[in-house]
Structure 1
Amino acid sequence: MIEVDEVGVIAGDATLLAPVSVTARRGEALIVRGRNGTGKSTLLRVLAGARQASSGSVRIGGAPVAARDRRFRRRVAAMVGLPPMSPDLTVSDHVLLVATTWLDDPHASTELAQGVLAELGLGALGTRFPHELSSGQTQLFGLALVMARPFEVLILDEPEQRLDPEHIGSVIDALRARRDGGATLVVATHSPVLADALADRTLRLDAAA
């Protein structure tokens, strides 16, 4: 599903990502580990189509990364930093909007939105606005937004940020369900708990740098 061949990123005189190669099959979780500054987020941005590689190539589902191609966007969902949030929409409004964008059936959209919120422990917070959430709740809200849609590949940058152990467990369960359902996951993390629970493959950028 994912083929990364000697992908590197350079900005001016700075190497943001030393050349790296890795693959991941459908239904596998690739965990990306490494110290801050070794290029984890940069690699994820390249995979998501948010940054151009300086060298090498990436193919997802056999096709080049093309962020403006609807087929690529339908295949790949990503959260590298919190997604945009409107102060005028509630938590439920946001998640339902995402689901409705991708699904034609209103009933299916509502079911998906409500299911994701419940799965991440946000069901009781649906009427709140983004500014009324704690930092941990905001992180879960961001995850709900990226998961409230169809995808074949899910790319997440440190999804454990700001979460206590209980909620990390909920995120692990949700991600494991997507992986076991056939999605390919790419997750950059500093959490050994999350990494050990999900990893089918591990890319260590410390070693690649």
Structure 2
Amino acid sequence: MIDLDEVSVSLGHVTLLAPVSATVGSGEVLVIRGRNGTGKSTLLRAMAGVRAPTSGTVRIGDNIVTERDRRFRRRVAAMIGLPPIAPDLTVEDHTLLVASTWLDDSQAATRLAGEVLEEFGLTPLANRFPHELSSGQMQLFGLGLLLSRPFEVLIVDEPEQRLDPEHVEVVISALRARRDRGATLVIATHNSLLAEQLADHTLWLGEAA
């Protein structure tokens, strides 16, 4: 499903990502680990099509990654940092908007939005505005938006950020459920439990620690 062939990213004379290669099969989970500054987020951006590699290639399926390709955007969902939000829309509004954008059936969109809110414990917060959420609730909200649409490949950067151990377990469960439904996952994380619970393959950037 995903093939990384000597992918590197530089900015002038600064190397943001040293050359890296990996292969991930359909329905598998690749966990990317390493110290801050080793290029984890940069690699995810290259895989999500928002940053072109300086050298090497990223392929998803048989296609070179490009965010300009509608088929690629439908196939790949990515969260690298919190998503953009509208201050005048509630949590429920945002979730339903994303689901409705991707699903033609309004009832299916409403059902998916409700299921995601329930999954992340956000149903009691459905009528709040984003600025009324705590940092941990905002992280769960962002993940909920990510999962409120169909995808074949899920790319997510440090989903455990700002979360206590109980909610990290909630995230692990949600990601495992998508893997079990056949999605291919790429996750950058510092969380050892998340890595142990989900990884089929682990890619260390820099020296393993």
TM-score relative to the length of structure 2: 0.98
Q: Percent identical across equivalent pairs?
A: 69
Shift of 1:207: 3.6
Match of 1:66 in 2: 66
Match of 1:172 in 2: 172
Residue range with higher mean Cα deviation, 63-72 or 126-135: 63-72
The separation in 2 between residues aligned to 1:205 and 1:84, in whole angstroms, is: 28
Match of 2:32 in 1: 32
Shift of 1:68: 1.3
How big is the alpha-carbon RMSD for the aligned residues of Structure 1 and Structure 2? Answer: 0.8
Amino acid paired to 1:89: L
Amino acid paired to 2:164: D
TM-score relative to the length of structure 1: 0.98
- Count of matched residue pairs: 208
The separation in 1 between residues aligned to 2:44 and 2:123, in whole angstroms, is: 29
Q: Summarize deviations over 1:49-98 as a string: whole Å, max 9, x none.
A: 11010000010011111101110000000000000011000000001000
Amino acid paired to 1:102: W
Q: Summarize deviations over 1:1-59 as a string: whole Å, max 9, x none.
A: 00000000000111000000001011111000000000000000000011010000010
Match of 1:200 in 2: 200
The separation in 2 between residues aligned to 1:154 and 1:54, in whole angstroms, is: 23
Match of 1:163 in 2: 163
The separation in 1 between residues aligned to 2:121 and 2:193, in whole angstroms, is: 19
Amino acid paired to 1:45: R
Consecutive unaligned residues of structure 1, counting only runs of 5 or more, are none
Q: Summarize deviations over 1:105-157 as a string: whole Å, max 9, x none.
A: 00000000010111111111100000000000000000011110000000000
The separation in 2 between residues aligned to 1:15 and 1:133, in whole angstroms, is: 37
Matched residue SS, 1:163: coil
Shift of 1:206: 1.5
Matched residue SS, 2:82: coil
Consecutive unaligned residues of structure 2, counting only runs of 5 or more, are none
Amino acid paired to 2:168: I
Amino acid paired to 1:38: T
The separation in 2 between residues aligned to 1:158 and 1:62, in whole angstroms, is: 27
Q: Summarize deviations over 1:149-193 as a string: whole Å, max 9, x none.
A: 000000000000000011000000000000011000000000001
Amino acid paired to 1:138: M
Amino acid paired to 2:78: A
Match of 2:23 in 1: 23
The separation in 1 between residues aligned to 2:26 and 2:123, in whole angstroms, is: 30
The separation in 2 between residues aligned to 1:103 and 1:177, in whole angstroms, is: 20
